[in-house]
């Protein structure tokens, strides 16, 4: 393998950290799988080295569907400190169009069969060496937005979490997508702390954990798991009262609101949930509640992690969360680099409980967070309104024990649409939007629940949603 710019890969290779679904236990890393994985890292590295000059100028897009290939591409890219762009291979046409308006990657790992048209690419500067660009929701019109991070900010978050957990490496069972900050940071924590990472599908995880438990190896309590509420809901529905998750070191829960009913079930199953608060802009969690507090009945997101400063400022009648953290991002792609000594104003609002415990009460903006994904309702509405069958549309989030928030579309049908156009509407949405943005329910109404001034009538909206399954 070509000479290294740093030792990320070498450190991980010495730890022999990669385990797969075929492992019989956590301690059994099949030599063939290990050799194959590191051969993939080498292959990706050789592709980068063959195009190094253009990669430094235009970056590398990592959008592999299979997590082991995504991970291999990530390690090869980190090892060479080239600009990295994380991409969701399941984005729809709207998102890829937005991507192409912002980037023209020199190398694309993944996306076989998809051609990216680059309409107005902005090249990376020499100072962008080692930049990691992570998608984080969007802005008006469906445009993708990307947070810029560097090794320093990612390493800082890992160090804060390690301080919260206590001595020892951070080992992870990773069931989250690696293009998401919650999955990506599990790679970084393994590197920083000298930990191990097991890549596994959540629907197959229980069988694997049970086999490890049956082997009488005392290893489960060394590993952490990160979930969004949707995943936890599905797991408990299938394994309530008989699962192995209670044996883990910690289960980090974030990515959106969790219902009281879901948290109660998790407590009944004695799951070591660590309720968290964080975002892509902070490289993940910056507040965390010890599992012991959760099991005792607390539902706050805990206290700020080491070195994090959070203040609440009155805004629009609520207490807006402003924060500073050594893990803060360097600004959004396309914007000037932000002053990282300054606090970051979030769109969240909350309150303090006794002994400095933070409670997240909602969002100032109207974004919907469903299954851990951030959705702009205006984007979905604009596509619905393009249809000849729709006169007016409103897209909102409704509290859901499975999704955190479920995407609900209120439709005023046109004269030509009637009430039998749902199939056509769903086909139209399927062609234009990612799966997670598509409404869970379409509700037909005579008029949208609005006041005369165009603002939402909360009472009328609540009545409609209460009748929605």
DSSP assignment letter at 6: S
- Token reading at 380: 């979905």
* CA–CA separation, 35 and 31 (whole Å): 6
* CA–CA separation, 9 and 7 (whole Å): 6
Domain with CATH 3.30.300.30 in the chain: 368-466
Q: Does the domain made of 368-466 have the CATH classification 3.50.50.60?
A: no
- Token reading at 401: 């024990």
Q: Give the Cα-Cα-Cα angle 308, 313, 314 (nearest 5 degrees).
A: 160
pLDDT score, position 141: 46
First to last CA, the chain: 56
* CA–CA separation, 366 and 376 (whole Å): 8
pLDDT score, position 3: 33
Range of weakest confidence among 23-27, 232-236, 264-268, 302-306 = 23-27
- Token reading at 433: 């939007």
Alpha-carbon Rg for the chain in angstroms: 23
pLDDT score, position 215: 62
What's the mean pLDDT when you consider all of the chain?
85
Q: What is the pTM of this model?
A: 0.79
At 32, the pLDDT band (50, 70, 90 cuts) reads low
Domain with CATH 3.40.50.12780 in the chain: 151-325+336-363
- Summarised one tens digit per residue, pLDDT across range 278-336 is 999 999 999 999 999 999 999 999 999 999 999 999 987 779 999 999 999 999 999 99
- Summarised one tens digit per residue, pLDDT across range 345-377 is 998 989 999 889 999 987 777 788 899 888 888
- Token reading at 387: 């249809």
Average pLDDT value for residue range 217-232: 86
DSSP lists the bridge partners of residue 132 as: 84, 149
Range of weakest confidence among 19-28, 31-40, 451-460 = 19-28
Range of weakest confidence among 185-189, 213-217, 302-306, 412-416 = 213-217
* CA–CA separation, 459 and 450 (whole Å): 10
Say which residue, 132 or 381, is predicted with more confidence. 132
Average pLDDT value for residue range 67-83: 95
Range of weakest confidence among 27-36, 108-117, 259-268 = 27-36
Q: Where are the alpha helices (DSSP H) in 112-168?
A: 151-165
Q: Where are the alpha helices (DSSP H) in 166-283?
A: 181-193, 202-214, 229-239, 260-268
Cα 238 to Cα 34, 201, 234, 241: the distances in Å are: 32, 15, 6, 9
* CA–CA separation, 211 and 26 (whole Å): 10
Q: What architecture (CATH level 2) is domain 151-325+336-363?
A: 3-Layer(aba) Sandwich (3.40)
């Amino acid at each position: 393998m070509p000479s290294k710019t740093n030792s990320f890969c070498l450190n991980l290779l010495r730890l022999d950290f990669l385990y797969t679904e075929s492992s019989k236990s956590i301690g059994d890393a099949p030599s063939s799988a290990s050799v194959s994985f590191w051969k993939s890292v080498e292959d990706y590295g050789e592709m980068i080295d063959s195009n190094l000059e253009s990669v430094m100028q235009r970056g590398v897009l990592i959008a592999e569907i299979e997590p082991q290939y995504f991970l291999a591409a990530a390690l090869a890219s980190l090892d060479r400190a080239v600009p990295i762009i994380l991409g969701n291979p399941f984005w729809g046409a709207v998102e890829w169009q937005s991507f192409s308006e912002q980037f023209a990657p020199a190398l694309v790992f993944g996306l076989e069969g998809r051609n990216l048209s680059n309409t107005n690419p902005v090249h990376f500067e020499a100072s962008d060496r080692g930049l990691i660009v992570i998608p984080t929701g969007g802005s008006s019109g469906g445009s993708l937005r990307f947070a810029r991070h560097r090794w320093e900010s990612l390493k800082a978050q890992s160090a804060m979490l390690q301080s919260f957990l206590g001595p020892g490496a951070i080992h992870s069972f990773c069931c989250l997508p690696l293009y998401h900050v919650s999955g990506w940071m599990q790679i970084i924590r393994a590197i920083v702390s000298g930990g191990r990472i097991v890549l596994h599908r959540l629907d197959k995880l229980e069988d694997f954990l049970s086999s490890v438990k049956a082997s009488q190896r005392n290893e489960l309590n060394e590993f952490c798991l990160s979930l969004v509420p949707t995943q936890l809901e599905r797991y408990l529905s299938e394994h309530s009262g008989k699962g192995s998750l209670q044996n883990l070191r910690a289960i980090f829960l974030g990515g959106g609101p969790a219902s009281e009913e879901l948290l109660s079930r998790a407590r009944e199953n004695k799951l070591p949930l660590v309720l968290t608060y964080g975002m892509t802009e902070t490289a993940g969690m910056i507040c965390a509640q010890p599992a012991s507090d959760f099991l005792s009945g607390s539902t706050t997101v805990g206290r700020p992690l080491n070195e994090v400063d959070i203040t609440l400022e009155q805004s629009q009648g609520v207490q807006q969360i402003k924060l500073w953290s050594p893990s803060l991002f360097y600004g959004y792609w396309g914007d000037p680099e932000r002053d990282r000594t300054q606090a970051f104003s979030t769109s969240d609002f909350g309150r303090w409980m006794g002994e400095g415990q933070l409670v997240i009460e909602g969002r100032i903006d109207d974004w919907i967070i469903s299954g851990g994904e951030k959705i702009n309702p205006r984007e979905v509405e604009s596509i619905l309104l393009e249809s000849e069958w729709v006169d007016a549309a409103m897209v909102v989030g409704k509290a859901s024990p499975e999704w955190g928030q479920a995407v609900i579309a209120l439709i005023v049908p046109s004269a030509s649409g009637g009430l039998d156009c749902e199939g056509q509407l769903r086909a139209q949405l399927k062609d234009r939007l990612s799966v997670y943005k598509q409404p869970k329910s379409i509700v037909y109404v005579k008029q949208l629940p609005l006041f005369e001034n165009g603002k939402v009538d909360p009472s009328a909206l609540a009545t409609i949603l209460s009748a929605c399954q």
